[in-house]
Chain A
């Protein structure tokens, strides 16, 4: 019963609880009502109060309201739950109210922009009459955002290749348990080769009666997928070798792995891409030309392999020494020990870390614009300079943001579920 709890305002008796409740709800609603009027009708019902108080009046009303509602053990289930969750103290009441008011302030204009005032019908700029988003722009440019400058008539080739590669990737789920042991071989060596052949012959074309489409015309989201797919596949085994190398007892192997890892981790990806674009051709014999896309994939692979290596090293270090000792005492050699005992356990431990590295890789792919390859973000920047479609950069970025968000969010959720699935008690 101290004065700074101000409990003497509130009726102590259970019977008077309802009065406090009614006053509280009324005040809280008044605050919300005041704010809504201010916000939507531009009317200030507390104009008679001096300036700062009048400005903060919705907040003050609501917080006082919440103060009255804050009754311990009221016996009403919903109220108790509410109090426990958003109304534990005056400070919390202020924060909760601010968030509620902020939502009232921000949500309607956002929804209006997104849905109610937005235009989606039609296919010219003139169709966008509302004050909201112009989704027509996305609709018209959709093919470009997905496939880049790839000719419209040939886009089925990209779709088919992607479906085929997905099918080859899904093989792992269906193989009989006898062949399970060969899966890692399949995923690290066979799958990249198959995918590369598919992409080379179908997307690139040039034979089997398919028109040749040069890599400069590839772009959009499909390019994002291609670059991240190959970098992912290649950076994992490379990272594993580097991680083992860094923990090796042999000084030359150890220090060369170490300096490789530290070098790539120390420089920004953008300079690596610069290097692959302007410096790398100088290092090749006169007349050799390596495709821009391949150079980029190699650069990203080397870059991400260093990060993957560090993550895997973390897993290797986290394994108790006993595992190494036990494997050695069974007479296993270095490779046998690592393949059958150490790596299977270590890799399980590092699933979240690996997933984070892969997410970082996907989020890094837009950087390939520095070498002139245009994936989604690059295409957006190109589209917004089109004289027919000026002034829709917001829609474009929001669209790309949503796509990337869905990809990354679902991947991180998937990695969390994997983590749970493979969790073994030790």
Chain B
């Protein structure tokens, strides 16, 4: 009996050790013959390549570590924007899929069936190489909303210029924290006294009011710099000032959002459909208003079904953002696993770091979501 338990484990272990041993041995041998050495010292050397789009200060004189950080931030930027937009769009489409209105329902399911059956890479290429290339040149662009230009070279819009931004930011954080405590207090009050406070409106007031207050008394000031067209040479124009959003970022976010939203929409639909009708009817019959039914009875239960698969979609979106490399958006893969690797030749270290980074992001998101999932799970007695 015992041998039956030990033998498979020993075989597995042996198998793993042999494979790893074989690979490391070969790797050592190969690196020796090619005169390479293993180590992460190269991270401190100056990178000497430029990156088109960066959230932090960067140029060629900075180190590889800094270049890595630029790539990571760009990846996170796309992921965060994509997650927010895909969630909004997915929720709307998911609800629309259940609409009693025939046209809305069909439009929603057409959208879902259309976008989720086309490879994401193809969609990114389509937006970047076909759709955004059809935009006008800077000199022909029309003014949008009084401040922005949509051109083939990207989206130019007004850039905010802050004075004492840190005070504003602190106020924002304080507002979020106080909303958190207020919501806790309101829930306690509801459980103890049965009174419902208008949580949403008060939270919104705090969220807007407190940061606004800093403008009046904190010395915070906000002005905008607008893009202005300038002629560079005979036939080439560019914009000065303002905020430039590169077309790569637009194409990538657009494709990721439209693609991932289809999956989120299906999750939302499944979540809402997963609630038995009796719940709604019971809630209405004890006198809750339709809004209360949705907020207090349907949503908490639907969220339980929606969240786990949606977490997976967030992870997928983050990992899919690595397709950026295909259209030269400087994300982690392009900057680090692409340019930096070409320059240093440190294949093992760099691919290892890149994979470890994605692994960390994935595990972090799934841990966070597991925690949240546990919090809202049914407390079984």
- Give residues in A with beta carbon < 8 Å to B: 84-86, 88, 92, 95-96, 99-100, 249-253, 256, 262-263, 265-271, 274-275, 278-279, 281-286, 359, 362-367, 369-370, 377, 380-381, 384, 393-394, 397-398, 400-401, 404-405, 408-409, 412
Nearest CB of chain B from residue A87's CB, rounded to whole Å: 8
**6 nearest A-B residue pairs (beta carbon):** A408-B117, A268-B319, A252-B9, A266-B362, A85-B102, A266-B359
Picked from A253, A269, A377, A408, the residue with its CB within 8 Å of the CB of B8 is A253
**B5 is an interface residue with CB less than 8 A from chain A:** yes
Q: Which of B129-165 contact A (CB under 8 A)?
A: 129-130, 133-134
Question: Known interface pairs A86-B101, A377-B125, A384-B129. Does A271 touch B5 (Cβ–Cβ under 8 Å)?
Answer: no
Q: Is the CB of A265 within 8 A of B23?
A: no
**Are B5 and A282 in contact (CB-based, < 8 A)?**
no
Return A124 CB to nearest CB of chain B, in Å: 22
Listed A/B pairs (28) with beta-carbon separation below 8 Å: A85-B103, A96-B101, A96-B103, A96-B104, A100-B103, A249-B5, A250-B5, A250-B8, A267-B319, A270-B333, A271-B322, A271-B351, A278-B341, A278-B351, A282-B30, A283-B26, A283-B30, A286-B29, A286-B30, A366-B119, A366-B121, A366-B122, A370-B326, A380-B125, A381-B125, A384-B129, A394-B134, A398-B126
If A279-B347, A363-B119 are given as contacts, then 8 extra A-B residue pairs at C-beta distance below 8 Å, sorted by A number, are A92-B99, A252-B9, A270-B323, A271-B358, A279-B348, A367-B323, A393-B133, A394-B134
| B355, A282: Cβ atoms closer than 8 Å | no
Determine if A285 and B358 form an interchain contact, defined as CB atoms under 8 angstroms apart. no
B338 to A: closest C-beta gap in Å: 9
* Known contacts A283-B27, A284-B26: A267-B103 contact under CB 8 Å: no
Q: In the complex, A400 Cα to B118 Cα: how many Å?
A: 9
Asked, given contacts A274-B333, A384-B129, whether A267 binds B117 with beta carbons under 8 Å apart, the answer is no
For A97, the closest partner residue in chain B by CB is: B103
Query: How far, in angstroms, from A263 to B319 measured CA to CA in the complex?
Result: 13
A353 CB to closest chain B CB (Å) equals 11
B: interface residue count bin = 35 or more
Task: Report yes or no: B354 in contact with A271, Cβ–Cβ below 8 A.
Answer: yes
Q: Complex formed: what's the CA distance from A370 to B354 in Å? A: 16
B118 contact from A92, A251, A284, A404, Cβ within 8 A = A404
Q: How far is the CA of A279 from the CA of B351 in the complex (A)?
A: 7
| A385 CB to nearest chain B CB (Å) | 10
Q: Is B208 an interface residue (CB 8 A)?
A: no
**In the docked arrangement, what's the CA distance between A84 and B117, Å?**
31
Bound together, the chains give a CA A252 to CA B325 distance in angstroms of 38
CB-CB < 8 A to B13: which residues of A?
252, 256
**For residue B360, which residue of chain A has the nearest CB?**
A266
Q: Which residues in B have their C-beta under 8 angstroms from that of A282? A: 26-27, 30-31, 347-348
A58 to B144 Cα, complex, angstroms: 24
B326 in complex: contacting residue of A250, A262, A369, CB < 8 Å: A369
CA distance A405 to B26 in the complex (A): 43
Q: Which residue of A lies closest to B34 (CB)?
A: A282
**Chain B, 273-330, CB within 8 A of any chain A CB:** 319-320, 322-323, 325-326
How many Å lie between the Cα of A246 and that of B26 in the bound state? Answer: 30
Which residue from chain B places its CB closest to the CB of A248 in the assembled complex? B8
Residues of chain A contacted by B33 (CB below 8 angstroms): 286
Given contacts A271-B337, A370-B325, contact A252 B12 (CB under 8 A): yes
Kindly provide the distance from the CB of A199 to the nearest chain B CB, expressed in whole angstroms: 23
A86 CB to closest chain B CB, in angstroms? 5
Q: How far is the CA of A256 from the CA of B16 in the complex (A)?
A: 9
Chain A residues with Cβ below 8 Å from B358 are 266-268, 271
* Chain A residues whose C-beta falls within 8 Å of the C-beta of B121 in the assembled complex: 366-367, 377
A400 CB contact (under 8 Å) in B122, B351, B355: B122
Q: Which of B30, B114, B348 contacts A405 (CB 8 A)?
A: B114
Q: What is the chain B residue whose CB lies nearest that of A405? A: B117
Chain B proximity of A392: nearest CB distance (Å): 9
Which A residue's beta carbon lies closest to that of B333? A270
Nearest B residue to A272 via CB reads: B355
Interface membership of B198, Cβ < 8 A? no
**Given the complex, which residues of B lie within 8 Å of A279, measured CB to CB?**
347-348, 351
From residue 6 to 38 of chain B, which have CB atoms closer than 8 A to chain A? 8-9, 12-13, 16, 22-23, 26-27, 29-31, 33
In the complex, are the beta carbons of B29 and A267 less than 8 A apart?
A: no
Contact between B333 and A268 (Cβ–Cβ < 8 Å)? yes
The residues of A that contact B102 with a CB separation of less than 8 Å are 85-86
Q: How far is the CA of A284 from the CA of B103 in the complex (A)?
A: 58
Whether the pair B362, A394 counts as a contact (CB closer than 8 A) is no
B205 to chain A, nearest CB (A): 27
B27 contacts which chain A residues (CB < 8 A)? 282-283
